[in-house]
A and B are shown apart, each in its own frame.
Chain A
Amino acid sequence: MNAFSSLMDGFGTALTPINLLWAAVGVLLGTAIGVLPGIGPAMAVALLLPVTYGLEPTGAFIMFAGIYYGAMFGGSTTSILLNTPGESAAVVAAMEGNPMAKSGRGAQALAAAAIGHFAGGMIGTILLVALAPKVADLAVDIGAPDYFAIMVLAFIAVTSVLGSSRIRGLASLLIGLTLGLVGLDQMTGQQRLTFGSLQLADGIDVVIVAVGLFAIGEALWVAAHLRRTSGQAIPVGRPWLGKKDVRRTWKSWLRGPLIGFPFGAIPAGGAEIPTFLSYVAEKRLSKHKEEWGKGAIEGVAGPESASSASAAGTLVSMLTLGLPTTAVAAVMLAAFQQYGIQPGPLLFERESELVWGLIASLFVGMVLLLALNLPLAPVWAKLLRIPRPYLYAGILFFAAVGAYAVGGEALDLVILLVIGLIGFGMRRYGLPVLPAVIGVILGPNAEQQLRRALQISDGSVSGLVDTPFSVSVYAVVALIVLWPLLRKLGRGVLKSRRSVEK
């Protein structure tokens, strides 16, 4: 009840005209930033920091939160329409969203994504209000062995979506893992695959890999085939979600937050892993398995809902523990410190007006974002009416701008092109692209957690399975791996029993 009345006070703060204005500015900026590849919400907030110096802290944070949520909304737009993810969290949206767009259902995919973000953000924020202290405690209890177990689960789950050919899927995953190896070894500072170049010491940014494999690879592929196929524009179909679509997706919208929220709250979680897991879960649960890979709407709705809910989860550990779990949260933490406010266990008592105003503004921002994005979906979808040569020229331009914006290095453009050529080669030989991107994201993470876990246990392998959490995750992994075998066995037993009865 206490939280509820504080939240009502928060709405009082958030709904003042000036704060409403900041929320609107934030979500607009965020959406724009999300749409452009390369400029993530973390960089946007950091660049705005000095500008907001003279502002009231409440207004500034309402704007930052708007940027964060807005970027989540906007990130999926280019993923779906142009196969060019703007953020690493939006990679999954391209998987089913882009085929939908190509078959003239772009507006529906965008709408499903927008409502997914809205549902995820809303549910996530409600969970934030209700569960903040408890989730925060859980976040502290999870250590390196548990993370490694989650990574193993993610790898296993991913191999189940490797596409039609296991061997091609694994090849693609290996390409990703190799790209992920480039850079300084985080534990010892040893250089790996950098060829002595300092520019490569921080590794290849995930955005560059994703944009290269998806956008550049795709553009080259289309260019190579444009002469044979007619260069006509992609059809734009009906603008709204049909009843059938809603019936298929409402469960996905609700399931997403259950996966996304906890991952946002734990320190090494972020938005990428929950979107992968949500995609896999939706694929398993779908009644329309034949549509997957060709544009299944659940594959857009679920992951997008999970990604926004993870943003809410991120705020839980940042506000209650002062624990930044993503780059955006780290920058926001720095912003808090600039105002002389230290997020942490005392924040809710000390700055209750600011915190509850911020939380209330999240609800307001969600509504603004939905109101902004839902009507825009058919408008965005019209982008695809541009004849392909011009459309792909535009994609190449934005991809290059995005890759350059990541680090301001000319070398990144060369890397982008090389990765684009790899992407082209992968398409030529039928290798799926997603496992490579997942390899780049998960590989370095998994390695770091494994080595950290082994260091904590002083080299003893038992350190990997000494927590109840990791043991239960491995049990799930074992179940997934053994399931086909068990089912076969079960069937065999049934059959033999029947034959005995006969």
Chain B
Amino acid sequence: MRLRTPRRLRVPLALLGSALLVLVGPPLLTTGSGDDTGTKIPGLRLMVPNTPGGGYDITARTAAKNAEDAGLTHNIEVFNLPGAGGTVGLSRLVGEHGNGKLAMSMGLGVVGAARSNDAPKTLADTTPIARLTEEQDVVVVSKDSPYKTIGQLIDAWKEKPGKMPVGGGSSPGGPDHIAPMLMARAAGIPPKDVNYIPFDGGGELLASILGSKVAFGVSGVGEYLDQIKSGELRLLAVTGPKRVKGLEGPTLKESGYDVNFTNWRGIVAPPGLSDAERDKLTSLIRKLHASPEWRESLKKNGWDDAFLTGGKFGDFLDAQDKRVVSVLKELGL
């Protein structure tokens, strides 16, 4: 109460305050947005369509932090809008037509979720910016499993698909679901006969593989690196185009099954951006990709670099979408 301004000073103070506001305010505000030449996008927001701690979340937060540390831009706000495997975030993104200050971290899981949920909006409605990282899936069994090679496993699988439950770390339509379906198709097993059991992420699945509750498990290589190295899990094959450094498992392709599957993550933006806005976002991501900070993060997290931008990324998205649709159609989902 004692600090109250004496009455006679109030009017002059108020005048001084408003004068300051008028004179100093606008220059302060414009210094930020006037800088149109660099990579800086003031007020850029990065949406994460799943919960904190998930894959898209870590990618987005790492990218935002690296971009700030490298001085490319400041204060990227990362926020989460989880729901329906990323579909809620996707429809919000598409709804922000023409907003050049918004982007979304996403990946193959969102492609699948948009299809399996019959979402009104798909990734074709977005502006593709860049693919950043990729990760292969692995086919693993417990060390006590009778299957020593991928050939033995698939032969047994062919005989009785129903008796061979397959565990994966994603819900139907997700990466760990699509991978075994492609495997089955390549081996001549109708995907409809595959007994796929979804788990809540690779962690929950791990217990079921170790305890031989499922015949084999399919999940991201990063999830099980240590268990494979320690010999708790036996790696039978990797699903991607080349072997993983430091691991002994063959690719499915060299084992005679025509499968080429990698999970990936990237960035998309709302539809209806001007060319300038799109180029600005792309150049920010391109510079992020070139920064030593991002290199360091790739190494730290064990992510494989899979940089692809603009139209090429758009074509890639399209091809991925078609593949997911074809698998889901065969399953009648």
Q: Which residues of A contact B (CB under 8 A)?
A: 42-43, 45-47, 49-50, 53, 139-144, 184, 186-189, 191, 198-199, 201-202, 267-268, 317, 321-324, 327, 329-331, 333-334, 337-340, 342-347, 407-409, 452, 455-456, 458-459
Provide the residues of chain B in CB contact with A324, threshold 8 Å. 201, 203-204
Docked pose: A331 CA to B203 CA in angstroms:
11
Provide the residues of chain B in CB contact with A317, threshold 8 Å. 207
B226 in the interface (beta carbon within 8 A): yes
Using A46-B57, A187-B172 as known contacts, list a sample of 7 further A-B pairs with CB atoms less than 8 Å apart, ordered by residue number in A.
A46-B53, A143-B211, A322-B227, A327-B51, A346-B229, A407-B82, A456-B214
Docked pose: A284 CA to B232 CA in angstroms:
42
Residues from 132 to 186 in B contacting A, C-beta threshold 8 Å: 162-163, 165, 171-173
Residues from 62 to 85 in B contacting A, C-beta threshold 8 Å: 62, 64-65, 79-85
Q: Is the CB of A321 within 8 A of B207?
A: yes
Q: Which residues of B contact A (CB under 8 A)?
A: 51-53, 57-58, 61-62, 64-65, 79-85, 87-88, 91, 116-117, 119, 162-163, 165, 171-173, 195, 197-198, 200-201, 203-204, 206-208, 210-211, 213-214, 222, 225-227, 229-230, 232, 300-302, 333
Q: Is the CB of B58 within 8 A of A140?
A: no
Pairs across A and B, CB under 8 Å, 17 listed? A42-B53, A46-B57, A49-B61, A143-B213, A188-B333, A189-B172, A202-B82, A330-B201, A340-B302, A345-B227, A407-B83, A409-B83, A455-B165, A456-B165, A456-B213, A458-B162, A458-B195
Would you give the shortest CB distance from A332 to chain B, in whole angstroms?
Answer: 9
Provide the residues of chain B in CB contact with A186, threshold 8 Å. 171, 198, 200
Q: Is the CB of B84 within 8 A of A184?
A: yes
Q: Is the CB of B117 within 8 A of A201?
A: yes
8 cross-chain pairs, A with B, having the tightest CB-CB distances, nearest first? A46-B52, A201-B84, A331-B53, A342-B226, A344-B226, A46-B53, A324-B203, A189-B172
A189/B227 contact (C-beta < 8 A), A321-B210, A456-B197 known: no
Docked pose: A333 CA to B88 CA in angstroms:
26
Would you give the shortest CB distance from A43 to chain B, in whole angstroms?
Answer: 5
Docked pose: A141 CA to B207 CA in angstroms:
8
Provide the residues of chain B in CB contact with A407, threshold 8 Å. 81-83
Q: Is the CB of A50 within 8 A of B62?
A: yes
Docked pose: A232 CA to B198 CA in angstroms:
54
Docked pose: A46 CA to B62 CA in angstroms:
12
Would you give the shortest CB distance from A134 to chain B, in whole angstroms?
Answer: 15
Q: Is the CB of B301 within 8 A of A337?
A: yes
Q: Is the CB of B198 within 8 A of A187?
A: yes
Docked pose: A334 CA to B57 CA in angstroms:
11
A321/B206 contact (C-beta < 8 A), A198-B84, A199-B88, A337-B302 known: yes
Provide the residues of chain B in CB contact with A330, threshold 8 Å. 53, 201, 203
Provide the residues of chain A in CB contact with B225, threshold 8 Å. 342
With both beta carbons as reference points, the residue of chain A lying nearest to B58 in the complex is identified as A334
Provide the residues of chain A in CB contact with B171, threshold 8 Å. 184, 186, 189
Q: Is the CB of A408 within 8 A of B81?
A: yes
Provide the residues of chain A in CB contact with B207, threshold 8 Å. 139-140, 142, 267, 317, 321, 323
Which of B195, B226, B232 is A455 in contact with, Cβ under 8 Å?
B195
Docked pose: A189 CA to B204 CA in angstroms:
18
Q: Is the CB of A267 within 8 A of B204?
A: yes
Provide the residues of chain A in CB contact with B222, threshold 8 Å. 337
Docked pose: A199 CA to B85 CA in angstroms:
11
Docked pose: A409 CA to B82 CA in angstroms:
9
Provide the residues of chain A in CB contact with B64, threshold 8 Å. 50
Which of A43, A184, A340, A342 is B52 in contact with, Cβ under 8 Å?
A43
Docked pose: A184 CA to B195 CA in angstroms:
19
Q: Is the CB of A201 within 8 A of B83?
A: yes
Provide the residues of chain A in CB contact with B300, threshold 8 Å. 338-340
Provide the residues of chain A in CB contact with B81, threshold 8 Å. 407-409
Provide the residues of chain B in CB contact with A46, threshold 8 Å. 51-53, 57
Provide the residues of chain A in CB contact with B208, threshold 8 Å. 143-144
Q: Is the CB of B91 within 8 A of A198?
A: yes
Q: Is the CB of A268 within 8 A of B226?
A: no
Docked pose: A345 CA to B228 CA in angstroms:
10
Q: Is the CB of A408 within 8 A of B80?
A: yes
Provide the residues of chain A in CB contact with B51, threshold 8 Å. 42-43, 46, 327
Provide the residues of chain A in CB contact with B57, threshold 8 Å. 46
With both beta carbons as reference points, the residue of chain A lying nearest to B163 in the complex is identified as A458
Q: Is the CB of B203 within 8 A of A323?
A: yes
Q: Is the CB of B197 within 8 A of A452?
A: yes
Docked pose: A142 CA to B229 CA in angstroms:
24
Docked pose: A322 CA to B226 CA in angstroms:
9
Provide the residues of chain B in CB contact with A139, threshold 8 Å. 207
With both beta carbons as reference points, the residue of chain A lying nearest to B162 in the complex is identified as A458
Which of A144, A187, A189, A331 is B173 in contact with, Cβ under 8 Å?
A189
Provide the residues of chain B in CB contact with A409, threshold 8 Å. 81, 83
Docked pose: A342 CA to B225 CA in angstroms:
8
